[in-house]
Amino acid sequence: MDSPPFNFYLSLCFHVVGLCYGKGLLPADSMVGEVSHNVTFTIVNPPSTPFRVVAWTTNGTNVITSGGSGADDIGTGYVGRITLNSTTGSLELRNLVLSDTGEYVVTILAVGQPKEGTATLRVYAPVSKMTITANNIDLVEFNSSVSLSCSSSGTSLSYRWLNGSSEFTASDGVQLDDGNSTLTIVRVTRYDQGPFWCIVSNPINSDNESITLTISYGPENITLKVTPLDVLYGSGSDLTLSCSSESSPPAQFQWALNGELLSNQGPVLRLEKIQANQSGRYSCWAHNTRTLRYQTSEPSDITVLERISSAKLTISPNPPIIEGGSVTLTCDASGSISNRDWRKDGQPLSPSERIIFSEDNKTVSISPLNLTDSGIFLCHLANLLSNENASYNLTVNLKGSTQGGPNVGAIVGGSLGAVAVVAVTAIGVVAAMKKGCFKKITSGGSTVSNIPSCVNT
């Protein structure tokens, strides 16, 4: 007697619900498969008695039916792709395609009650062929926005974006679109250079790619450094001025003196054997050719002094200098003169009605001259680096003197005459005293002096 047909057993199962479902016949968890790979549906609790019929179906379609009176019945599209284990009822499905996704049902008819189990298979194409593109590669800080698009082959793809170790989320400055596959950064900053990582994943695998942006910024925080740094510099000194700034691409530098551009360019300005006429306020200008922005440094004051040399003191007119006339003394020297100080015979020379100083103290004019103006005049010239003295021995001659120097004869003769008068007077006083020839002269009741009242007798 032939065995009942397979659909008979299926019909029987459907009518005797509760007796036909094998507990734990297939794993409860869903199965994951990768395109072109294989999966095996393993029966975990096969019946202990021999099978009469094993049938596998998916989505109502026959995969394979084995047993009964005929040969195995293999469904369309599964020929050459499946292997049924007749002992356990497990099924191997090879060379997976996406359409293999679905719910698989196994029905086992053995001696005793028939058993049935279900399993869900999800087939995915793997993540592959990733690319990241940017819609703008010429980015300027605070001016530009950029959209990064991540694409990949595969199915059921999930996208994430990382900046370093931090994951991007939508915010005021960040937009995520197209299922997170597109990242838009509004008004980029220099800190948005990346690298940015796009991570694409599905249950099969994951992959990642990165992109680094070039963002132009600056210049800013410009600094000017002078080496060596000092308050004053002597003429002939060598100085180096260096300028730096935060800028990408690196800034171009120009130099200015007192606000006027110099021909010098570059981050370093060398001033060799600097002279006093190069004193002033130096500054550097930084320019970014991509951002088209400028920044100017704080100025640095460079003061160059020439050391004082060749000091001299001259007079006008030329000697002889005559009492009652006038004379102008001029003090001058080579170098940078900050201060002139005048002295006569070691004492400070002060202005008066007769002694007039020029505004810069370079000249002293004396008029009218007195004999007491004779003496050694000294001019002290100084700056913060050096000082020198110049002196002149001025001789004022008596009026009427024709000598180029002091009227020695007049001065000496006057002295001798005075001595003779004193001597004669003294002799007369002694003789008068002997003769008692004195009389008193009074004024206002007071005796002024006693003078001789007699003549030689």
Confidence at residue 367, expressed as pLDDT on a 0 to 100 scale: 96
What does the block give as tokens for 356? 């007039």
Q: Is residue 183 within 8 Å of residue 162, measured between CB atoms?
A: no
For residue 248, pLDDT beyond 70: yes
Supply the DSSP string of 161-210, one letter for each residue. Answer: EEETTEEP--BTTEEEETTTTEEEESS--GGG---EEEEEE-SS-EEEEE
Instruction: Over range 153-168, report the average pLDDT.
Output: 93
Instruction: Name the class of domain 128-213.
Output: mainly beta
Distance CA 351, CA 120 (A): 117
Instruction: Over range 430-443, report the average pLDDT.
Output: 35
Instruction: Over range 314-321, report the average pLDDT.
Output: 96
Instruction: Over range 33-44, report the average pLDDT.
Output: 95
- Provide the Cα torsion 369, 370, 374, 375; round to 10°: -90
- Among the ranges given (188-202, 312-326, 430-444), the one the predictor scored with the smallest mean pLDDT: 430-444
Per the model's pLDDT, the better-predicted residue between 24 and 276 turns out to be 276
Q: Is residue 314 within 8 Å of residue 392, measured between CB atoms?
A: yes
99-125 per-position pLDDT tens digit: 999 999 999 988 777 889 999 999 999
Confidence at residue 364, expressed as pLDDT on a 0 to 100 scale: 98
For residue 346, pLDDT beyond 70: yes
Reported confidence tier of residue 422, pLDDT bands at 50, 70, 90: very low
- Provide the Cα torsion 261, 262, 268, 274; round to 10°: -130
Confidence at residue 403, expressed as pLDDT on a 0 to 100 scale: 53
Confidence at residue 242, expressed as pLDDT on a 0 to 100 scale: 98
Confidence at residue 28, expressed as pLDDT on a 0 to 100 scale: 79
- Residue 430 identity: V
| Domains 6-124 and 128-213 are alike in CATH topology | yes
Q: Which fold has domain 217-305?
A: Immunoglobulin-like (2.60.40)
Tell me the average pLDDT of the chain: 84
Annotated domain spans of the chain: 6-124, 128-213, 217-305, 309-397, 419-452
- Residues β-bridged to residue 225: 242
61-87 per-position pLDDT tens digit: 999 999 866 688 999 999 999 999 988
Q: What is the CATH number of domain 309-397?
A: 2.60.40.10
- Among the ranges given (4-18, 22-36, 262-276, 358-372), the one the predictor scored with the smallest mean pLDDT: 4-18
Q: Which fold has domain 6-124?
A: Immunoglobulin-like (2.60.40)
